[in-house]
């Protein structure tokens, strides 16, 4: 598989009070067309990832909104897979090109979360879990992830300090990302005073509620080879693997709480599809929905042995240009987590890395990157591998 990325655009992430859902989507769509130097009527299909617009904005049918913005009539599809909506939308766009039904595809991720209060937003987000067996009895996503954290701490003796270093690293990286929501360093001392959200998770273990949108323009390899002749200043990045796997919706139905089976399955399939070894990956944008999620996912992806990612993180092995550069963008924790846009945002950041346009957060000689996007408590896992040329 070899799908080209010929255009990309990402809005700023944050509390964007002066921009609507429509405004954000329009900005990213139009920005990506300009970046790709193509016209809207060249787009064969559009996929838009979103989770909460129907609940929080009273707006479904984003697929039609996306075509209205561009004044086109091509097939357009909305994609919802909880926090993995963006990653799944990207996968669907790839499959459209792979099937031969489209040559140029636009894929969007958009979310507008900050217009309502935290109670409404929390209720909307837990819809990614089981309404009957989790939300109905009072469970929230922080509380479910707190259970996972406690189980992991008990099994592998993870310390509060080791867990804190996930957020400390990601905040440090976000300072140099102009699009990031939270551009402020945090320290171990900050964790001692941080508000507990669901013990042992504090507010510093959780991502912010963010608004934002991202758009990529994908094409077939054949089109990209002709396109680059007219856009010689550009650098094409190729997607060489796209995989997805699933696990139970309800956390209590899992055999284990300390690993995410869906990620393990998707990861192995991705390495095989891309025909690479784990050691060849230079940079990872990983789904740190909570600090524990990064710890577990590093192990599920194979970068560290089970029970050792906490120690490795504390030692700095996941910092920029160390053993494996993880979330140089700031990740969900600090770049932000507009849920439907997150999976596309991860791809945008990897593309910048492989084009060597990531500024102060550039990973040296980055050639291969990976994105890892989760939905719910890893009920869905989507992995993409990118290669620069």
Catalytic residues: 83, 337
Bridge partners, 371 (sequence order): 285, 384
Q: Which residues contact 250 (CB under 8 A, 6 or more apart)?
A: 129, 130, 133, 134
Per-residue DSSP letter, 55 = I
Nearest to 353 by CA among 282, 301, 303, 298: 282
Helix axes 291-300, 261-274, angle to 10 degrees: 50
CA distance 347 to 5: 10
Q: How many CB atoms lie within 10 A of CB 74?
A: 18
Q: Whose CA is closest to 25, among 108, 93, 92, 91?
A: 108
Question: CA angle 85-87-90, nearest 5°?
Answer: 105
In whole angstroms, give the CA distance from residue 154 to residue 302. Answer: 21
- Half-sphere exposure of 229 toward its Cβ, with a 13 Å CA cutoff? 5
């Amino acid at each position: 598989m070899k799908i080209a990325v010929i255009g990309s655009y990402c809005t700023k992430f944050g509390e964007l009070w002066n921009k609507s859902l429509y405004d954000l989507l329009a900005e990213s769509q139009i920005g990506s067309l300009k970046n790709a130097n193509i016209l809207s009527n060249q787009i064969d299909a559009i996929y838009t990832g979103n989770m909460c617009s129907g609940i929080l904005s009273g707006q479904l049918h984003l697929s039609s909104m996306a075509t209205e913005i561009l004044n086109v009539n091509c097939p357009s599809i909305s994609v919802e897979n909880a926090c993995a909506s963006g990653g799944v939308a990207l996968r669907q766009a790839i499959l459209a090109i792979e099937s031969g039904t489209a040559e140029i595809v636009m894929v969007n991720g958009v979310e507008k979360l900050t217009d309502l209060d935290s109670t409404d937003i929390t209720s909307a987000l837990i819809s990614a879990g089981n309404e009957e067996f989790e939300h109905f009895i009072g469970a929230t996503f922080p509380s479910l992830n707190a259970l996972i954290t406690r189980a992991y701490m008990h099994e592998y003796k993870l310390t509060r300090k080791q867990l804190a270093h996930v957020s400390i690293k990601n905040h440090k990286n976000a300072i140099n990302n102009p699009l990031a929501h939270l551009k402020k360093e945090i320290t171990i001392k900050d964790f001692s005073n941080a508000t507990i959200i669901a013990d042992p998770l504090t507010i510093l273990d959780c991502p912010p509620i963010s608004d934002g949108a991202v758009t990529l323009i994908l094409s077939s390899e054949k089109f990209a080879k002709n396109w680059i002749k007219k856009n010689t200043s550009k650098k094409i990045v190729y997607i060489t693997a796209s995989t997805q796997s699933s696990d139970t919706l309800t956390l209590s139905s899992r055999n284990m709480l300390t690993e995410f089976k869906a990620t393990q399955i998707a990861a192995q399939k991705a390495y095989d599809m891309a025909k690479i070894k784990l050691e060849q990956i230079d940079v990872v944008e990983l789904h740190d929905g909570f600090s524990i999620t990064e710890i577990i996912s590093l192990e599920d992806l194979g970068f560290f042995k089970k029970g050792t990612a906490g120690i490795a993180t504390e030692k700095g092995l996941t910092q920029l240009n160390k053993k494996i550069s993880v979330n140089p963008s700031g990740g969900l924790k600090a770049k932000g987590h507009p849920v439907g846009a997150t999976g596309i945002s991860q791809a945008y950041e990897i593309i910048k890395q492989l084009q060597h346009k990531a500024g102060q957060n550039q990973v040296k000689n980055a050639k291969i990157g990976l994105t890892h996007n989760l939905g719910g408590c890893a009920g869905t896992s989507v992995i993409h591998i990118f290669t620069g040329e």
